[in-house]
Amino acid sequence: MNVGFIGLGIMGRPMAGHLQKGGHTLFLYDIGKLPDDLLSAGATGCASGKEVASKAEIIITMVPDTPHVQSALFGKEGVAEGLSPGKIVVDMSSISPIATKDFARRIKERGCEYLDAPVSGGDVGAKAASLTIMVGGSQQAFDKVRPLLELMGKNITLVGDNGDGQTTKVANQIIVALTIEAVGEALLFAAKAGADPAKVRAALMGGFASSRILEVHGERMIKRNFDPGFRIELHQKDLNLALQSARQLQVSLPNTANCQELFNACAANGGAAWDHSGMLRALELLAHFEIGQTTG
């Protein structure tokens, strides 16, 4: 298939690489530099999203946030200007579910299809082609795009209509943030009580409190390794989407708001680019105690 890929950053570059290895012909665009490895393996660099859309049948976007998707799709020389009926736009960025519905409507007006297909699994999952992909859109478009998604991910679910993929991703980010907060509180509590947090984590791993976040981020907290990974500023963006939507939907998300405040405290202390497990450091500031310090 002729596939367009727009946004070749930490996530997009390895994802596009899997499509290329799967035998697809790539047409690439990024406002920054295009990856040499993809170009030398036969991908075509394009001067605009419009050019990508005129040459590809399926156009994937993987850019940071809602305004970037808006500009890639509907800005000057954007994807919308190069579309013709029958093409499919697949936005894999994590962005606003509400804006997504509007973007989908505007793309469909051109006789095209739109899927929102954000991912979970981080740069590790992007490189390993093991991403979880949460899709919103029509069954027909999903069936056409599924072979491409299968080259990039493992757990691929059509959740519902346009916007539902992004809603699922926001739900994912709420669970991840609150679980990081819970693991951080628990390990800080245990350390201040005088127990070895590494042994506490190991003891809890088999029980009801076990989770991937206790496993991976619990270990990061104990080793004090806050190199990203997934940056706090990106998680702030996702919780902002949750809190804004909650206001529009008139639903209260009290602990999501707390987690956002803790991320804000990290950012205020120079931590916007820490890994999101660094939320622990905000809790440590409140406790005036660091995991690894002795109580005695």
Q: Which CB sits closer to ligand NAD, 60 or 63? A: 63
List of residues 6+ apart from 94 with CB closer than 8 A: 118, 119, 166, 169, 173, 234, 237, 238, 241
Residue 111 and residue 120 in contact, taking contact as beta carbons nearer than 8 Å: no
Exactly one of 169, 192, 199, 223 is catalytic; which is it?
169
Q: What residues from 212 to 251 belong to the interface with ligand NAD (CB under 6 A)?
A: 230, 234
Site mask for ligand NAD (CB under 6 A), range 84-103, x = bound: ---------xx---------
Enter the tokens of residue 31.
């406002």
Q: Nearest distance from residue 253's CB to ligand NAD, in Å?
A: 19
Tokens of 272: 């916007």
Question: Is 169 annotated as catalytic?
Answer: yes
**Chain position carrying tokens 């539902």:** 164
Q: Is the peptide bond before 229 cis (omega within 30 degrees of 0)?
A: yes
- DSSP 8-class letter at 231: B
Binding window for ligand NAD (CB under 6 A); candidates: 39-47, 98-106, 120-128, 143-151: 120-128
The nearer residue to ligand NAD, 119 or 282, going by C-beta atoms, is 119
Interface characters, 10-29, with ligand NAD (x: CB under 6 A): xxx----------------x
Which residues neighbour 141 within 8 Å (Cβ) at sequence distance 6 or greater? Answer: 88, 113, 114, 115
Neighbours of 177 (CB within 10 A): 25
Indicate the residue among 115 and 186 with the shorter CB distance to ligand NAD.
115
Closer residue to ligand NAD, CB minimum distance, 7 or 165: 7
Residue nearest to ligand NAD (CB): 9
Structure tokens at 249: 């939907």
Structure tokens at 25: 């012909």
Question: Of these, 3, 6, 16, 239, which contacts ligand NAD (CB under 6 A)?
Answer: 6
In the complex with ligand NAD, the residue whose CB is nearer, 47 or 251, is 47
Query: Is 148 within 8 Å of 24 (Cβ atoms)?
Result: yes
Q: Which residues bind ligand NAD (CB under 6 A)?
A: 6-12, 29-32, 62-64, 68, 71-72, 93-94, 119-120, 122-123, 230, 234
Catalytic residues: 169
